[in-house]
Structure 1
């Protein structure tokens, strides 16, 4: 209890045999309600409000997880299939490549697999290793490291364009800004977009849950014999609305995951959610080696990264070369006029349309899908007017 720091501590354990085996699972009973615990000689599975599988799986998932191998075994493919079938997420281990050592043999066979429900409860779950000591395995430590990282940056969402009032709002806001420079208009549009998103697109999962509940109530009315002429029409309207939100949610998580492939049969919200969660954890910089020392302090890491890129992109002093030095040929007048000519509207449009839609040309959060879709539809509306 003193180690855990709480009097609500519960644990499950498997005794070690010599230098092998030995598992300890500690939990806060108020945070995780245990339903079942299954134990073997070298493994432990707990089930409760969410799923977490941890321990020595005696198998790898990727070639780089075992030193010196060039191909994956059939059992590795079966292990990967099992993880996918169970819809589990393999928590990344960023501070160590291997977790098991014997002589010159090294492998990553120890891991923690969690369900999506687990990440809903503990979204900041991290995995790190401990000192190996006398064992041939490194202990794995799971922790819920919540950090305050400031406001989230703006990001345009492709799902906005499925809402019938979105372009109308953009058009009205654009007109109210008047004759302002284009980039200033885009910057001024950020706050109206944030307000609109909060009003119409916040808590998509909760909106879907309410619609599904309304559909269930209508079904219950039909089952109990309370049926009138408006019941069927109401159910059709609810189903259409629910399908729209299914599509919006899937578009949202597909964009956030930036996945290029999908199963076309089933809705892929859970799949994209898993990828997005894994990407966020992998992209987080947990530690850096600065001047030979391992640093985990996030404030120091941010300063080090900022200073590195500030130095990298610093403009160095260079000698000024002029035409009189004889190193540069002068352009003819016709060539100079061609270079100074402004690009045509069609040239700009072609350059924009050649860009991949998910890419952002700058750090303002607008991707090319937003620019293409808004520009094309507003142009179509102006032609109709």
Structure 2
């Protein structure tokens, strides 16, 4: 259902409209809703800027937010501009036009955003709803904890790791082996472990087909055994789905046996929508060109991390505390296996050591054949600093 709104004047008039929408919404909670238009109301003080005076909008803000919460609507992210209405003399600007949608809407169009374009009338800007999900290229690798529950996983990693032949310093060897392992794990995940969502749909369709046959009495004992096997496989697949969701949302209190996938799927999708980058302002103009946006982001962080030419620190006449020879020998001696292992085991298993996507759970699981390469990498870094 779509509801279009025109602006109203007093807060009393607005509340009458909000109550009418809530009454209609309460009787149709299972339908897809989209409420769009000029609400003439704001949700926070930052959504209205005035060059003349600053009024108190607390009652209006509280009432509008209460209406949205009671109606169980979501204010989808805005892209392009911060304000949708400007007073002709330029003294006031506000975000009074917006799109509110139901959770059912987000299940169908999970990447919905409201884009603000140029003015269509003197005071208001054009508001366009898009289900936008830009393809920024290859997704970063991330090892899934559920892989380690598969009996085939550890043997696969051992076989691949011991087959890699890389020559060079310890840190280089370890890095190159991890890169090779990423490639092989992606193939293994696709061809052996499988897509859990796709597998769920296949299992559901097979079980449904057998259920239909059972309803008409056309199901023999062999098919009953097959259905029992499929149901067991579906339960295992549901566990895998929950494990993936658990890792994505990073909620430690979520138990793998707590089958509340609808709630957490919704949380993950909404977080992705809110944090997504659809474009940037480039030289004052909104740009959605993928290559331009990626170049601008790369240039931004490159400038942040580049060193300042000519900056020098002098330590003349600075006295430093000294240590004994025995202490110095201990500090520069190679790291032992026990020290490195204690360091690895001291970290939470779900913590990732860096951008490579491998967490400590995988390193601990595969320690027996990762160990030598990790020791060489750690001592190589300690000796050369890179």
TM-score, with length taken from structure 1: 0.68
Query: 1:165 is matched with which residue?
Result: 152
Query: 2:100 is matched with which residue?
Result: 112
Show CA shifts across 1:301-342 (max 9, x none): 3223222222222234554767x8554344321121121133
SS in 2 for 1:369: helix
Deviation at 1:257, TM superposition (A): 3.4
Matches within 5 A, 1:161-310: 161-177=148-164, 181-226=173-218, 228-259=220-251, 262=254, 267-289=259-281, 293-298=284-289, 299-310=291-302
Contiguous gaps of at least 5 residues in structure 2: 11-19, 49-55, 168-172, 372-386
Residues 125 and 170 of structure 1: is their aligned pair in 2 closer, same or farther, counting only changes over 3 Å?
A: same
Select the structure that is richer in helix: 2
Deviation at 1:243, TM superposition (A): 0.8
Deviation at 1:212, TM superposition (A): 1.9
Q: 1: CA distance between counterparts of 2:312 and 2:252?
A: 47
Q: How many residues align?
A: 340
Select the structure that is richer in strand: 1
Residues 194 and 106 of structure 1: is their aligned pair in 2 closer, same or farther, counting only changes over 3 Å?
A: same
Q: 2: CA distance between counterparts of 1:68 and 1:13?
A: 25
Match of 1:129 among 97, 116, 124: 116
Q: Relative contact order: is structure 1 or structure 2 higher (C-alpha 8 Å, sep ≥ 6)?
A: 2
Residues 363 and 106 of structure 1: is their aligned pair in 2 closer, same or farther, counting only changes over 3 Å?
A: same
Q: 2: CA distance between counterparts of 1:340 and 1:329?
A: 17
Residues 18 and 255 of structure 1: is their aligned pair in 2 closer, same or farther, counting only changes over 3 Å?
A: closer
CA-based RMSD of the aligned residues comes to: 4.6
2:280–2:288 contact (8 Å) kept in structure 1: no
2:7–2:40 contact (8 Å) kept in structure 1: no
Contiguous gaps of at least 5 residues in structure 1: 1-11, 21-39, 380-385
Q: 1: CA distance between counterparts of 2:153 and 2:279?
A: 41
TM-score, with length taken from structure 2: 0.68
2:33–2:104 contact (8 Å) kept in structure 1: no
Q: 2: CA distance between counterparts of 1:377 and 1:259?
A: 31
2:79–2:113 contact (8 Å) kept in structure 1: no
Residues 321 and 138 of structure 1: is their aligned pair in 2 closer, same or farther, counting only changes over 3 Å?
A: closer
1:93–1:127 contact (8 Å) kept in structure 2: yes
Match of 2:78 among 85, 93, 105: 93
